[in-house]
Amino acid sequence: MKPIIEKYKDSVIQIATPFSVGTGFYLSNKNIIVTNEHVIRNNKAVVVEGNGINRSLLPVIYIDSKYDLAFIKGPGHRAEMEIELGDSDKVLEGNSVVAAGHPFGLKFTATQGIVSNTRHIQDDINYIQHDAALNPGNSGGPLINDNAEVIGVNTFILRDGHSLGFALPSNVLKKTLDDFLKEKESLAVRCSSCLNIIYEKFQKDTYCPNCGAVVKFISSIEEYHASGIRRSLEDILRQNQIDVELCRRGPYNWEVIEGTAKILLSYHEESGMIVAESILARLPKEKILPIYNWLMQQNFELRGLSLGINKNNIMLTAIMYDQFLKPEYASIILKDLFQKANEYDELIIRQFGALPNEL
């Protein structure tokens, strides 16, 4: 399993939109990131990030609701990130597989399992059924065989199905890629009625030229505009020179990188609580008391922020509530948190020997 993890850790991509987070994988030789349609739904561009790809906003170039597939334009060919598509027709029940992805929006994770059914039919589509653990956020990630080849795209799970996952076979993906790439530099969608791929550059209206069905093209997708408390929070982020489009992580979460520190901003709709927290460095194994003394001293001086420890992580946190939210005050608090997160992270590593966390 370790060689597979090493090979795929740079090619498995985290995808984020204003509505959800998910996974994709980068086919460098085609300069395409593959994922599920439901991951990028209602977005003409999405945020992608991975070990081999810096966080960036990239355009969606193909949407396929029939097979729950979507393609995102890649960042440019990179030979060191080559991965291969295997032959899904050769998959047998009992074969070992690895599912790779970013569950819950976390960093790269891989789980192992076996194929339990090679012909699970749902909505007239054949899926590979397996028991490698999948969680929300894994959608769109690769299912990998022992030869380190992609044999499927993880698409859905049964919530009460004891870790039953289902992957679209790689041969379906291969054919879709071949059909899509017949035309260069054109956005495309698959017609949900006749199932033909329709290229936007040839269309003068919103109807399928083959069957006449209404088709929703990528260019017709409306830009996302936050509303309510989300708009207020995003306005506050913009006041602090934060690129809001790049830091969205679903409807109520934002992630900001400030120097060596990562700041997570979350809104909890039921409680009305707004939490901004930065995971700083980790406690060292020795000489911890000076850090505790420093934390207490800083907390005595801080206003609107507090330092603490969660497990072995040193945290800097601000808590506010929507009904009492004053944008001017919140902007000052967040600006202070962004500045101090980076400052404190470097200080406790340098001065107290704390251990850096990976971003």
Averaged pLDDT, 23-49: 96
- What DSSP character marks residue 347? H
Query: Is 68 an active-site residue?
Result: yes
Percent of the chain scored above 90 by pLDDT?
81
pLDDT at 358 over 90: no
pLDDT at 357 over 80: yes
Residue 160 — pLDDT band, cuts 50, 70, 90? low
Averaged pLDDT, 79-105: 89
pTM across the whole model: 0.91
What is the predicted pLDDT for the residue at 80? 67
pLDDT digits (tens, 9 = 90+) for 208-220: 999 999 999 999 9
C-beta separation of 345 from 280 below 8 A: yes
C-beta separation of 90 from 115 below 8 A: no
pLDDT at 79 over 70: no
Residue 137 — pLDDT band, cuts 50, 70, 90? confident
Query: Is 120 an active-site residue?
Result: no
Question: Who's near 7: CB < 8 A, 6+ residues apart?
Answer: 83, 148
Higher pLDDT, 50 or 57: 57
Bridge partners, residue 190, by sequence: 197
Q: Strands 306-310 and 261-268, how do they pair?
A: unpaired
Catalytic residue among 139, 170, 278, 345: 139
d(CA 32, CA 176): 12
Q: How far, rounded to the nearest angstrom, does the alpha carbon of residue 73 sit from its chain's CA centroid?
A: 15
pLDDT digits (tens, 9 = 90+) for 197-251: 999 998 889 999 999 999 999 999 999 999 999 999 999 999 999 999 999 999 9
Averaged pLDDT, 121-148: 93
d(CA 323, CA 181): 51
What is the predicted pLDDT for the residue at 259? 81
What is the predicted pLDDT for the residue at 107? 78
What is the predicted pLDDT for the residue at 108? 86
d(CA 317, CA 327): 18
Query: Is 162 an active-site residue?
Result: no
Residue 52 — pLDDT band, cuts 50, 70, 90? confident
What is the predicted pLDDT for the residue at 196? 96
CATH code of 228-352, in short, is 3.30.1460.10
Residue 105 — pLDDT band, cuts 50, 70, 90? low
Phi, psi of 142 (to 5 degrees): -85, 145
Question: Who's near 173: CB < 8 A, 6+ residues apart?
Answer: 34, 69, 85, 150, 153
pLDDT at 161 over 60: no
CATH fold for the domain made of 2-172? Thrombin, subunit H (2.40.10)
Extents of the domains making up the chain: 2-172, 228-352
**Closest-CA residue to 70 (of 97, 44, 98):** 44
pLDDT digits (tens, 9 = 90+) for 292-345: 999 999 999 999 999 999 999 999 999 999 999 999 999 999 999 999 998 999
Catalytic residue among 38, 235, 306, 322: 38
Catalytic residue among 10, 64, 68, 345: 68
Phi, psi of 192 (to 5 degrees): -75, -10
What is the predicted pLDDT for the residue at 142? 97
Percent of the chain scored above 70 by pLDDT?
97
Integer Rg of the chain from CA: 23
